[in-house]
């Protein structure tokens, strides 16, 4: 009774799997075709023990066909099942080059895929959220009393985190009269950024109804806002800028505890939050509150600072603008004015205006190009201008993938040892000697 062959899946007529059945006659050196590898393992106690230890299997009858089928299914067609066509046995046993090359190719493919996850650009970590963190106390009301200003903190978790990571401050909208750090858009953004390796905060700030009392250093902000034609309460706008700047100071001061690089921080906001982010990014250095280089990029989601944004100067943070062309709350003309000023001074910037889109659109679904959402563009922009400011970010998996490649190559070496035949014995002793199948070596490049 010989070796039965059966067809395997969709490999075609040449794809035959090997299933082992007991032979009625012993195998001798005179036979022209080699025995299938699975029969060699089943027949030889030493090979069976070594193979089962390597694969974690007991080579009973119920495993034989599955083990053979697995190899017949995974081997490339040029190698050609049955399995013995891919192996040559003898004094210098070896895996045929085609199998060796394909195993190496699989290892390299796995390594390349792992390395494709780029730190700060691709999701690869967990995150931890800490709620209601007090980042400052500011006076409000009449008579004035200090109130706590809160933020939501999102930090990446997992192995291989850099000691210093870039940070992001996000500011909610609401016309300076409403809104919260718990706004769904900002929470989602912070979660997504944390999974990419960023430390992100979403902040509260004093609103018009809080009757904020300004620090004297921000009185000029109130004056400039009032003169710009901004319809919101100028004191509330200036207070929002003061509070967002306090959030930056909190992040920079606690950079060591947070694992944040104080030289790599960006800010962004939506609507009123975008106005706030623009003031912090481009005005505060002009009035001596901040210094150039404190912030590296600003994300403006449907915000504006009027028709003459001359506060944007050379050396200021890079600017990303996203605005709906049909916005009736904050006209798109303000976005174009920002764009024109950035172009005039050579400031790194991008503007994305969306026809037919109104105020407050979903940045996770609206696309700047096929397959790339506004949020993904934001990630790429901040990766370029914030994350890489202190040096090129490296693939987070570079060390791990190299180690995995070494492991795979080591496993290939073990597999080589498994298929080496024992020292040749005589046919009279009941052993066998398998000869090469006669197929020429083939190579895949």
The whole-angstrom separation of Cα 82 and Cα 105 is 21
Q: What does the pLDDT read at residue 308?
A: 75
Q: What does the pLDDT read at residue 114?
A: 44
The whole-angstrom separation of Cα 221 and Cα 287 is 8
Angle at 150 between CA 248 and CA 267, to 5 degrees: 30
The whole-angstrom separation of Cα 66 and Cα 63 is 5
Residue pair 138/242 in contact by the 8 Å Cβ criterion: yes
Q: What does the pLDDT read at residue 16?
A: 38
The whole-angstrom separation of Cα 97 and Cα 444 is 9
The whole-angstrom separation of Cα 302 and Cα 358 is 9
The whole-angstrom separation of Cα 216 and Cα 421 is 87
Residue pair 243/279 in contact by the 8 Å Cβ criterion: no
Q: Which two tokens stand for residue 87?
A: 């192996």
Residue pair 165/201 in contact by the 8 Å Cβ criterion: no
The whole-angstrom separation of Cα 189 and Cα 191 is 5
Query: Could you give the 3-state DSSP secondary structure of residue 35?
Result: coil
Q: What does the pLDDT read at residue 91?
A: 45
Query: For the packed helices 184-195 and 374-382, what is the interaxial angle rounded to 10 degrees?
Result: 50
C-alpha R_g of the chain:
33
CA 344 to chain centroid, in Å, comes to 35
Q: Return the H-helix or E-strand segment holding 374.
A: helix 374-382
Q: Which two tokens stand for residue 326?
A: 């049909």
CATH 2.40.70.10 describes domain 126-387 = no
Q: What does the pLDDT read at residue 259?
A: 97
Q: What is the pLDDT along the chain (445 residues), one digit of tens a residue?
A: 444 444 444 434 444 343 334 444 444 444 444 555 545 555 665 555 544 444 443 334 433 344 333 333 333 444 444 444 444 444 444 445 544 545 454 444 444 444 468 999 999 999 999 999 999 999 999 999 999 999 999 999 999 899 999 999 999 999 999 999 999 999 999 999 999 999 999 999 999 999 999 999 999 999 999 988 778 999 999 999 999 999 999 999 999 999 999 999 999 999 999 999 999 999 999 999 999 999 999 999 999 998 779 999 999 999 999 999 999 999 999 999 999 999 999 999 999 999 999 999 999 999 999 999 999 999 999 999 999 744 443 333 333 444 444 444 445 554 545 445 455 544 444 433 333 333 333 333 2
The whole-angstrom separation of Cα 101 and Cα 97 is 6
70-108 burial, b at 16+ Cβ within 10 Å, e below that, comes to ebbeebeeebbbbbbbbbbbeeeebbbebbbbbbeeebe
CA 232 to chain centroid, in Å, comes to 39
Which alpha helices (DSSP H) does 124-283 contain, by range? Answer: 184-195, 219-227, 234-253, 255-258, 272-282
123 contact partners, CB below 8 Å, separation of at least 6: 192, 195, 196
**Across the chain, how many H-helices and E-strands are there?**
12, 14
Q: What does the pLDDT read at residue 229?
A: 78
Query: Could you give the 3-state DSSP secondary structure of residue 180?
Result: coil
Q: Would you list the domain boundaries of the chain?
A: 4-115+421-429, 126-387
What are the CA-CA distances from residue 287 to residues 100, 230, 284, 293, 316 (Å)?
67, 19, 5, 15, 14
In 3D space, the residue among 123, 166, 124, 200 whose CA is nearest the CA of residue 389 turns out to be 166
The whole-angstrom separation of Cα 376 and Cα 8 is 43
* 318-324/297-301 β-pairing: parallel
């Amino acid at each position: 009774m010989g070796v039965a062959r059966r067809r395997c899946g969709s490999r075609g007529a040449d794809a035959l799997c090997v299933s082992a059945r007991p032979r009625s006659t012993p195998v001798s050196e005179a036979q022209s075709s080699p025995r299938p590898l699975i029969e060699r393992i089943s027949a030889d106690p030493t090979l069976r023990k070594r193979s089962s230890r390597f694969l974690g299997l007991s080579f009973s009858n119920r495993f034989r066909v599955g083990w053979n089928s697995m190899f017949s299914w995974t081997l490339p067609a040029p190698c050609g099942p049955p399995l013995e066509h891919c192996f040559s046995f003898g004094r210098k046993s070896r895996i045929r080059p085609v199998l060796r090359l394909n195993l190496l190719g699989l290892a390299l493919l796995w390594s390349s895929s792992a390395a494709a996850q780029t730190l700060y650009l691709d999701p690869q970590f967990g995150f931890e959220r800490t709620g209601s963190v007090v980042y400052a106390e500011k006076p409000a009301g009449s008579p004035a009393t200090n109130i706590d200003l809160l933020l939501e903190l999102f930090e990446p978790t997992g192995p291989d985190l850099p000691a210093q990571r870039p940070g992001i401050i996000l500011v909610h909208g609401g016309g300076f009269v409403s809104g919260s750090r718990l706004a769904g858009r900002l929470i989602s953004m912070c979660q997504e950024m944390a999974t990419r390796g960023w430390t992100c905060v979403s902040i509260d700030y004093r609103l018009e109804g809080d009757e904020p009392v300004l620090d004297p250093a921000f009185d000029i902000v109130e004056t400039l806002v009032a003169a710009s034609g901004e319809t919101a309460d100028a004191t509330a706008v200036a207070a929002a800028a003061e509070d967002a700047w306090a959030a930056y100071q909190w992040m920079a001061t606690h950079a060591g505890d947070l694992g944040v690089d104080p030289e790599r921080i960006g800010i962004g906001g939506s609507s009123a939050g975008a106005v706030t982010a623009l003031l912090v990014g481009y005005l505060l250095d002009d009035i001596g509150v901040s210094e150039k280089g404190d912030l590296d990029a600003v994300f403006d989601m449907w915000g504006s600072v009027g028709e003459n944004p001359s506060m944007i100067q050379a050396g200021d943070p890079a600017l990303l603008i996203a605005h709906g062309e049909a916005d009736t709350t904050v006209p798109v003309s303000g976005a174009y004015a920002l764009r024109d000023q950035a172009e005039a001074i050579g400031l790194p910037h991008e503007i994305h205006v969306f026809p037919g889109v109104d105020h407050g659109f979903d940045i996770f679904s609206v696309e700047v190009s096929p397959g790339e959402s506004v949020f993904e563009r934001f990630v790429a922009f901040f990766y370029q201008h914030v994350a890489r400011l202190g040096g090129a970010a490296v693939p987070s998996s570079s060390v791990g993938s190299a180690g995995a490649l070494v492991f795979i190559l080591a496993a290939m070496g073990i597999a080589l040892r498994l298929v080496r035949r024992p020292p040749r014995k005589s046919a009279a002793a009941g052993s066998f000697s398998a000869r090469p199948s006669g197929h020429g070596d083939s190579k895949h490049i």
